[in-house]
Amino acid sequence: MKLLARYLLKELVIPLCVWVAFLFLLLFVMQFLRGTDVLLGSAVTLGDLGRLLLYLAPHFLMMALPIAFLLAILLGLGRLAEDRELTALQALGIGPAQLLAGPLAIGAVLAGLMVLITSTVEPWGLTGVKEFVAEIIKKNVVGDVKSGVFYEDLSNLTLYAEKVEGEDRGWTNVLLHDDRERSAPLLMLARQGQVNTNVAGQVLTLVLADGEAHRANRGSENYSVITFQKGEIAVGVEGSMGRRNRFRSPKEELTPSELLQAAEEAERTGGDPRSFLMALHNRLGNALAPLSFALLGTPLAIGRRQGGRAWGYLLTLGGYVLFYLLMRFFEQLGQQGKMPVLLAGQLANILFCTAGLVAMYRVSRSGTVR
């Protein structure tokens, strides 16, 4: 049995590693293409891309591990079925139920790893991504503003500097048009200006000196002019980037203990704690997905007909999509109070485990392969 266990582990672990590497690379490329306006700025270095990869790695692993595991089961055990090796094992008295031990063991290890990741490094990484993007945007503004060229990469802001010079990339004869408040746009003219890169967080600060501000009200004939010696315009980096740096919901940047504290605070102040509790249980449900995938994927792999690999892949991907659609549906019910949050977070796993046990029973009754 030890020899059989090692053989099955080899058949599952190697495809698992290959699929994880492929999906991880695919997710990173897709995210990179979404943020090319930021990540291909003049101030971005290879070290910056390395930091981005480090921050996103936990989140991408949480997305890649379940589907990679499901595909590994299909590829590994499915190959044994197609090569009639499972028929030989059955002749030796080894039934389908005994083959389930290997996938379940790997699924338990992956579930434990995902619980650890989602409780620690994933919130850290998602928080780091937002801070990283804010820092890159600031560096790009410093490096991309050119003399005599309108800079329009900040949403609803247009910046123009007649000259950009010096080590600090200071601006001379600056025009700034702020259209964030549609009903009363702001036009600022200044002799000097620059970006304040010392402000931490999601705020970009433009410092202007020796100028005047013009504000017109489009709903009336009012027009205001103010002169100033020094003025600062704060730009929320997240807002200025639209959705390009909104990688995930803010709740996913909180650790489980922080989600519980937020729920307690919401309940104490008369708010609704269900959204925070649902986020916690939904995260746990996602982390335990490898166990339900092991129970469902094993009978699908060993019980499929020979030559049905393409159909098996389609069925696997369909099952993966169905699982997360169910997770989303039950999450909405939990947030609306139509279902207990604990049940809503785990119901998709319960349904998949039940379907897997039924499929395993049918395979055991009919034999490993047909």
| pLDDT in the model for residue 189 | 93
pLDDT band at 134, cuts 50/70/90?
A: confident
**What mean pLDDT do residues 47-55 have?**
89
| CA-closest candidate to residue 104, choices 353, 320, 319 | 353
Q: Tokens representing 116?
A: 């650890």
Strand partners, 204: 235
- pLDDT at position 92: 66
Give the pLDDT of residue 115.
95
Average pLDDT, the chain: 82
How is residue 305 annotated by DSSP?
P
Encode pLDDT of 306-323 as tens digits: 545 566 667 777 888 899
Question: Residue ranges per domain, the chain?
Answer: 2-120+255-366, 145-240
Residue 182 neighbours by CB distance under 10 Å: 8
DSSP of 46-100, one letter per residue?
Answer: HHHHHHHHHHHHHHHHHHHHHHHHHHHHHHHHHHHHHTTHHHHHHHTT--HHHHT
Dihedral pair phi/psi, residue 108, rounded to 5°? -65, -40
For residue 158, which amino acid is it?
T
One-letter amino acid for residue 62 of the chain: M
Highest mean pLDDT among 98-102, 251-255, 330-334: 330-334
How many residues are listed for the chain in this entry?
370
Helices (H), 252-288: 256-268, 274-287
Amino acid present at 109: V
Percent of the chain with pLDDT over 70: 82
- Distance in angstroms (rounded) separating the CA atoms of residues 286 and 290: 8
pLDDT surpasses 70 at 197 = no
- What is the per-residue pLDDT for 241? 40
The runs of H, that is alpha helices, within 181-273 are: 237-240, 256-268
220, 225, 226, 232 alpha-carbon torsion, rounded to 10°: 70
Q: Which of 12-26, 140-154, 165-179 has the lowest mean pLDDT?
A: 140-154
Confidence of residue 130 (pLDDT cuts 50, 70, 90): confident
Sign, CA torsion 323/300/71/281 = positive
User: Do residues 252 and 279 lie in contact, with contact meaning Cβ atoms separated by under 8 Å?
Assistant: yes
Asked if residues 91 and 316 have their Cβ atoms less than 8 Å apart, the reply is no
- The whole-number pLDDT of residue 175 equals 92
pLDDT tens across 290-306, in order?
A: 999 999 888 887 765 55
Maximum mean pLDDT: which of 25-39, 88-102, 214-228, 332-346: 332-346
What's the pTM value of the predicted model, to 2 decimals?
0.75
Does the pLDDT of residue 370 top 50, yes or no? no
Average pLDDT over residues 331-335: 91
pLDDT of residue 369: 44
pLDDT at 238: 52
**Residues facing 175 on adjacent strands:** 160, 189
